[in-house]
Amino acid sequence: MVINMIGLCGAGKTTIARALSKHYHLPVVTIGEFRAKALKEVEQDGIRESLVAEVFAWLKFNEALIKRNLDGFIICTSGLNHRLEWILKEIRYLSKTISVKLVCGDRVLEKRVAQKKGREPFCSDMDKSEFNKMMRPALKTTPADITIDTGRNSEAETIKKIIRKIGVLKMS
């Protein structure tokens, strides 16, 4: 099983992914490290095209997952790369992927992003708040199997709801 945690910066993807990782005994993997390397490699070739870097990052991510031969994993993404799910098909996981979209209000996101400022690298020319403002409209239309408002639920409630909904999805 693959759980794709989708959400803006500060929505709780990493926090919830760690809890789900313990519950399901699945590793949490990230595309961030591959994206940073891909951006550098693409820019060295004189290309400033972020979509090229994004596709390259997903291909490298795919290659690393195949080498690790995982039965499943949890991935945290902005969710905007649902356009690139064709790459996941190459990993043979797409049919088993459950997408969980974490949403919350702007004030909650701003507060969480401010608390984490400087603790996490962010691969972009813009800061996380700018990224959130730019990407919120696209996230609203991003498909997901489960959507949870982390601003209206405690961390424990969010985790329980997700586990319950994943159980229902796995049974259907």
Please give the domain boundaries of the chain with CATH numbers for all domains.
2-171 (3.40.50.300)
Q: What is the pLDDT of residue 46?
A: 64
Q: Which residues of the chain have pLDDT under 70?
A: 33, 35, 42-51, 53, 78-95, 117-127
* Distance from C-alpha of 135 to C-alpha of 138, rounded to nearest angstrom: 5
- Residue 6, pLDDT score: 87
Which 3 state secondary structure label does DSSP give 125?
Answer: coil
Tell me what pLDDT residue 22 has.
Answer: 96
φ, ψ at 75 (rounded to 5°):
-120, 140
> How far apart (Å, rounded) are the C-alpha atoms in residues 147 and 120?
25
**Residues whose CB is less than 8 angstroms from the CB of residue 94 and which lie 6 or more positions away in sequence, other chains included:** 2, 85, 88
Give yes or no for a contact between 6 and 90, defined as CB atoms under 8 angstroms apart: no
pLDDT in tens, 17-35: 999 999 999 999 877 767 6
